[in-house]
Amino acid sequence: MGVVMLMNRIEKAAVNNPARRALQRFYEVPALLGLAGGPLAPGSRAVEIGCGTGYGTRMILDRFRAASVDAIDLDEGMVAKARRRLVDRPGRVRLAVGDATDLKAAFGAEDVTYDAAFDFAIIHHIPDWRSAVAEIARVLRPGGVFVFDEVTAHALARPSYRKLFVHPEHDRFTADDFLAELPRHGLDVHGARTKIQGDYLLGAARKHRPGSR
């Protein structure tokens, strides 16, 4: 089953506060821009899985310079908040409630639809996380970039995480597991780094171009 596990109340509070947004804006996004090779090309179309309240979506538009973003989340309340946050971006954002492993159901996304895909720490919430990676690879155009910021099994095993948050208990991935899965779906790792003793993984991968090897 690929459906994302919803965050509990504590985790929602942890990820939707000024400190978390400042970390994303001033550290994570600059790091990811560097790993991805800079902003997207003019006119780029992006998809974001697990958009939450839409703060990351704004970063994709403003910092990565996407022309448009399709953003999805399983939580209706989060999508409603994102809609309010992004009201000043008319025509540039489509929001949907749905499963990150089925973007066709949410947006009618056919193969090779997007120039970029973004995962701001949502894939570790998906029991069948490999299906999410496969779906991202399916909808990316050749040469498209997958930008990811993930929480690893190392972090999820810490007592604080186990006590406060709810995550899938089986088939959790380490940083090495995640990076090894990407090439199996035609995604060539462009750059990656870990932080806090391997708890978190930031990186970017490019969709393989036929004939480029």
| Residue 127, domain member (yes or no) | yes
Strand ranges for the chain from DSSP E:
45-49, 68-73, 93-97, 114-120, 140-151, 187-195, 200-207
User: What is the spatial distance between Cα 71 and Cα 137, in angstroms, rounded to a whole number?
Assistant: 16
Q: Are 53 and 16 in contact (CB under 8 A)?
A: yes
- The mean per-residue pLDDT over the stretch 161-188 comes to 84
- Residue 39 is which amino acid? P
Residue 57: pLDDT band by 50, 70, 90 thresholds?
very high
CATH of the domain at 24: 3.40.50.150
Q: Are 140 and 112 in contact (CB under 8 A)?
A: yes
| Residue 141, domain member (yes or no) | yes
Mean residue pLDDT across the chain = 88
| Residue 213, domain member (yes or no) | no
- The mean per-residue pLDDT over the stretch 48-59 comes to 95
| Residue 1, domain member (yes or no) | no
Q: How many CB atoms lie within 10 A of CB 182?
A: 21
| Residue 46, domain member (yes or no) | yes
- The mean per-residue pLDDT over the stretch 167-195 comes to 91
User: What is the spatial distance between Cα 171 and Cα 94, in angstroms, rounded to a whole number?
Assistant: 31
Please give the model's pTM, rounded to 2 decimal places.
0.89
Kindly list the strands in the beta sheet with 45-49, ordered across the sheet, starting from the edge strand earlier in the chain: 93-97, 68-73, 45-49, 114-120, 140-151, 200-207, 187-195
| Residue 79, domain member (yes or no) | yes
User: What is the spatial distance between Cα 65 and Cα 43, in angstroms, rounded to a whole number?
Assistant: 9
For residue 156, the model assigns a pLDDT of: 82
Tally the domains of the chain: 1
In terms of phi and psi (left: phi > 0; alpha: psi -120 to 50; beta: otherwise), the region of 84 is: alpha
**Domain residues for 190?**
9-207
- The mean per-residue pLDDT over the stretch 152-160 comes to 82
| Residue 199, domain member (yes or no) | yes
- The mean per-residue pLDDT over the stretch 108-120 comes to 96
| Residue 3, domain member (yes or no) | no
**Is the per-residue pLDDT at 211 higher than 90?**
no
